[in-house]
Amino acid sequence: MQSKDFTTTILVDQTPNEVYKAINNVAAWWTGEPGVEGSTVKIGDEFTYQYKEIHYSKQRIIELIPAERIAWLVTDSNLSFISDRDEWNGTTIIFEIAKQGKKTEVRFTHAGLIKELECYSDCSNAWTSYISDSLKNFIATTKATA
């Protein structure tokens, strides 16, 4: 039996285009100390995320399909709370955006974040919070312009 990647889904009232723009404003919803640094605008852009000395990761944008899909490749990581600190290296963070009736669905997948990894419990809990709380609230309160 193959392990499953971590996935969570939210529904929002905003359009797929508004959702796409909100997700790409990474620093506004993936908060930390110091948080997100770098560009998140085009394919090939790289940015880092840091939360104190606990979590560091560097992502490269590998896919941008307006109002449909965003994907980041994790190129470097340092998770101080586990023994294999670079467990995220080579994993992919994916946002799939689709209209569902009058709402928009965001399907978040961290491909490579599987139950067998040491960080799975902590990382999946953190992602659930960021996606279902921070990102969802940011999407709901942001007026993205076309």
Residue 89, in any domain of the structure: yes
Beta carbons within 8 Å of 19's beta carbon, 6+ residues apart: 12, 67, 97, 104, 106, 139
Mean pLDDT of 21-25: 96
| pLDDT at residue 5 tops 90 | yes
What is the distance between the alpha carbons of residues 78 and 17, in angstroms, rounded to a whole number?
Answer: 33
Residue 55, in any domain of the structure: yes
Residue 81, in any domain of the structure: yes
Work out how many domains the chain is built from and give that number. 1
Mean pLDDT of 90-112: 97
Give the confidence band of 100 by pLDDT, cuts at 50, 70, 90. very high
Read off the CATH number of the domain in which 117 is found: 3.30.530.20
Residue 146, in any domain of the structure: no
Do residues 58 and 76 lie in contact, with contact meaning Cβ atoms separated by under 8 Å?
A: yes
pLDDT of residue 145: 43
User: Which domain, by its residues, includes 68?
Assistant: 5-141
Q: What is the mean pLDDT of the chain?
A: 94
Mean pLDDT of 80-86: 94
What is the distance between the alpha carbons of residues 146 and 119, in angstroms, rounded to a whole number?
Answer: 38
